Amino acid sequence: MVEGKVSIVTGAAMGLGSEIATELANMGSKIVVADMEEEKGLNFVEELQKLGKEALFLKVDVSNEDSVEQMVKRSVDQYGQVDILVNSAGVTQGKAMEDISAEDWDFVLNVNLKGPYLCTKHLMPIMKKQRYGRIINISSIAAMMGGGFVGTSHYASSKAGIIGLTIASAKETAAFGITVNAVAPGPCRTRLSSSWLADHEDEMAKTIPIPKVCEPTDIANAVLFFASERSNYITGQTLAVDGGLTTIGKVVS
């Protein structure tokens, strides 16, 4: 499916990003683990290498253009190509709208929306030259439902922006053999949600048609589909992986 391809996965040092990177590596992709968390990233790369996978850690701040540009350059210097980009780095905060400072807003939007934009921008010329590329953005059903719970207006806004970015990027790249799609997780057992789920998982599960929260592997499998040849004729789409939650529109407040 992705044998011999080179994948950059942002936010891959832990959590959902590491699950996605692991699945891609298991299918034969070379992995660039791009993250701010250097120690965790290096440890994760070591784990992959012990399993016989080819992996490289690069420290990157996705909200900083110089940092992103260096990440892309070093990836190409190392492997000669980049075939797959997974924009999975993300942050959130639980704050009511009136308590969100301008700095809070910028922090969340810079990582969650500016980051994918910068990574896509700097990989576009390389993928266009290759006439091949797969870009997968991680959005959220928060984009479709205004947040999963009270206090995520900046997070929901950033993830809604991802859907727009996905469509716009797809239009600009389709003629070059590049597809751009997004995966929108529902309530999922990730690093960002773990503390909230500890108190609300049972209540949350009751609102979902498939009555359980999703696992990181569910998201990784969707990403793998978009990264593979099986999605050749799909671009500009957002796939909700949410157990059917968006079909009924319920949220926990």
Q: Which residue, among 40, 41, 3, has the nearest Cα to 25 in the 3D structure?
A: 3
In the chain, domain spans? 6-241
**Local structure of 113: helix, strand or coil:** helix
Does 155 qualify as catalytic in the annotation? yes
Percent of the chain with pLDDT over 70: 92
- C-alpha angle with apex 232: 167 to 139, nearest 5 degrees? 35
Q: Which residues contact 239 (CB under 8 A, 6 or more apart)?
A: 181, 182, 183, 184, 222, 226
Q: What pLDDT shows up at residue 208?
A: 87
How far apart are the C-alpha atoms of 239 and 183, rounded to whole Å? 5
Amino acid, single-letter form, for residue 4: G
Q: Which of 173, 171, 150, 153 is nearest to 161 (CA)?
A: 153
Could you tell me if residue 248 is left (phi over 0), alpha (psi between -120 and 50 degrees) or otherwise beta?
alpha
Q: Whole-angstrom Cα distance, residue 249 to residue 145?
A: 7
138 by DSSP, 3-state: which?
A: strand
183-224 confidence digits (pLDDT tens): 999 888 776 666 666 676 777 788 889 988 889 999 999 999
Fold of 6-241: Rossmann fold (3.40.50)
Distance CA 75, CA 58 (A): 8
Side chain identity, residue 8: I
Q: Identify any residues that bridge with 133 across adjacent strands, giving them in sequence order.
A: 178
Give the predicted TM-score (pTM) of the model: 0.94
* Token pair belonging to 157: 């806004």
Predicted confidence (pLDDT) per residue in 10-36, tens digit: 999 999 999 999 999 999 999 999 999
List, in sequence order, every residue forming a beta bridge with 57; answer none if it has no partner.
Answer: 33
Q: Residue 134's pLDDT band (boundaries 50, 70, 90)?
A: very high
Segment 171-180 shows an average pLDDT of 99
Catalytic-role residue among 79, 117, 132, 155 = 155
Q: State the pLDDT at residue 151.
A: 64
Residue 249: the pLDDT is 59
Residue 253 has pLDDT above 50, yes or no: no
